[in-house]
Amino acid sequence: MPLRPYQNDLVEDVRSAWHEGYRAPCIVLGCGGGKSCIVAEIARRTTFNGKRVLFLVHRKELVDQITATFTRWGVLMDLCSIEMVQTVSRRISKLISSVPPSKNIARNKNLTKGGSGAASRCPALIITDENHHSLAASYKRIYEHFSDVPRVGVTATPVRLNGDGLGDVNDKLIIGKSTKWLIANGFLAPYDYYAPSVADLTGLHTRRGEYVQSDIDKAMIQNKVFGDVIAYYRKLANGKKAICYCASIKHSKATAAAFCDAGIRAAHIDGDTPKNERDRIISAFRKGEITILCNVDLISEGFDVPDCECSILLRPTHSLTLYIQQSMRCMRYRKDKRAIIIDHVGNYARHGMPDDDREWTLAKKEKRSLVKEEKEKSTQVCMCPECFFTFARENAENGCCPHCGAPLPKRTRKLTSDEDAELIRIEGFQLDFDTPDDCHTYDELLSYAKRRGYKPGWAYYQARLRGMIA
């Protein structure tokens, strides 16, 4: 099957990098740009030359999916092993530990010719899927063992959670077309982005760079936000197939149940869902028998699901990779399609818009305050308080929303940080309203009341008075 011209350019750029002496380039291409086709073509050419390929994935759900893609593409699968990185790393460890130190020279021959499985066969090329994971010890163990074997990785976001580049494992970035270019040229669907807030995210703690799971559960489950989530889906994407990204398995199941109770067909899947049941649910989603597919992180990196028109974000995250994967899941191209992203947790303010142009580097990131970064991001993006349409601030039209024409009030994002406790507190988006009549939602009334020292009951009464809540 022929590659698109920009995809073929990336394959040729990888070949040129190897010829120039680079050993581990990384291809960078946005979600939906066709990375699986690119690596399938690289694997096909390698196996047709009689050389062995080792393809590393980080989740068991991806093995069968990638095997099917490679088979359709014409890869000689007798010479291609698609393996979970944990499995390959574990086999190498066992084989190394079984060889006496005095036999170091013979060890490599035993590992590449004498054992069983992918780790016991010497590949001529290692391909790493979702290459941003490759700084983990399991990947490094494999890379160090096959230190003379050229590699190539693929990712949409060549960055770790802490912002560091991948210079420890890659020596060149090969950057493809931008997401804006892919949209403009009809390879991804254009999108509308909405950010109606439904939960109080005040007081979320971070641990190892990500929000604490129990805090998110409390915000998204105990605060009973399901009714608002359903109401906004009906208002913004009614009837469209949607994938809903939830905070936990418990939250995902509860969200699916809430949609079903509201008469909207929904189902939950996770990594522990039996394969037959998962396949049945995904098939029903493809046929339109299920409208809302709820999950946690399963339908993110590389996971193949049928086309949908809407992404619903219910999990706040500090991970740019997770945000990009989840928000753009609905942007696969289809004629006349316009994707809808409903971000209930303010991820856009932490990371910008999905198609923002980003500068990638292999270097470690200069240490900067997370608070400072989020303040900078929040000043680049606007959310209309009237229709919740979200857009780059530069696209505002004379201080008005380009979607509905409503005037845009001044907005600031309040963030406080306790460095010793590793606490990031998100107060949400505070709108500078002069009177209660300027508030358009219950959340805005709560914010107004909090800044003026009013009791919460005041906001509830005002919301009832204005018909915002029943």
Q: Where are the domains of the chain?
A: 5-177, 188-409
Which candidate, 441, 337, 392, 375, places its Cα nearest to that of 193?
A: 392
Question: Are 210 and 317 contacting, i.e. CB atoms less than 8 angstroms apart?
Answer: yes
The H or E element containing residue 416 is strand 411-418
Give the pLDDT of residue 116.
40
User: What are the tokens at 194?
Assistant: 């909405």
Give the pLDDT band (50/70/90) at residue 28: very high
pLDDT digits (tens, 9 = 90+) for 263-277: 999 999 987 888 899
State pTM to two decimals. 0.75
Please tell me the number of Cα atoms within 13 Å of 347 on its side-chain side.
29
d(C-alpha 205, C-alpha 199), whole Å: 16
Token pair, residue 183, equals 């949209």
| Listed range (48-57, 102-111, 141-150, 357-366) with the worst mean pLDDT | 102-111
- Strands, E, within 65-171: which ranges? 80-84, 125-128, 151-155
Question: Of 425, 423, 443, which Cα lies nearest the Cα of 433?
Answer: 443
Asked whether residue 429 carries a pLDDT value surpassing 60, the answer given is no
The phi, psi pair for 166, rounded to 5°, reads: -105, 30
User: What's the confidence (pLDDT) of residue 57?
Assistant: 92
Look at 223 and 283; give whichever has higher pLDDT: 283
Which of 26, 13, 28 minimizes the C-alpha distance to 150? 26
Mean pLDDT of the chain: 81
Burial code (b: 16+ CB inside 10 Å, e: under 16) for 387-397 equals bbbbbeeeeee
> How far are the Cα atoms of 49, 291, 410 from residue 193, in angstroms, in the given order?
46, 20, 20
pLDDT digits (tens, 9 = 90+) for 46-99: 999 999 999 999 888 788 889 999 999 999 999 999 999 999 998 886 655 444
Q: Which of 95-104, 168-177, 289-298 has the lowest mean pLDDT?
A: 95-104
Residue 174 has pLDDT above 60, yes or no: yes
Question: Is a pLDDT exceeding 50 seen at residue 426?
Answer: no
Whole-number CA gyration radius for the chain:
24
Would you state the structure tokens that stand for residue 337, as one six-digit string? 């399609």
Q: What is the pLDDT of residue 437?
A: 73
Determine the CATH number of domain 188-409.
3.40.50.300
The mean-pLDDT minimum among 91-100, 302-311, 394-403, 409-418 falls in 409-418
Residue 126 near residue 56, CB atoms below 8 Å: yes
Per-residue pLDDT band for 413 (boundaries 50, 70, 90) equals very low
| Interval 176-204 mean pLDDT | 90
Decide whether 5-177 matches 188-409 in CATH topology: yes
Domain with residues 5-177, CATH architecture = 3-Layer(aba) Sandwich (3.40)
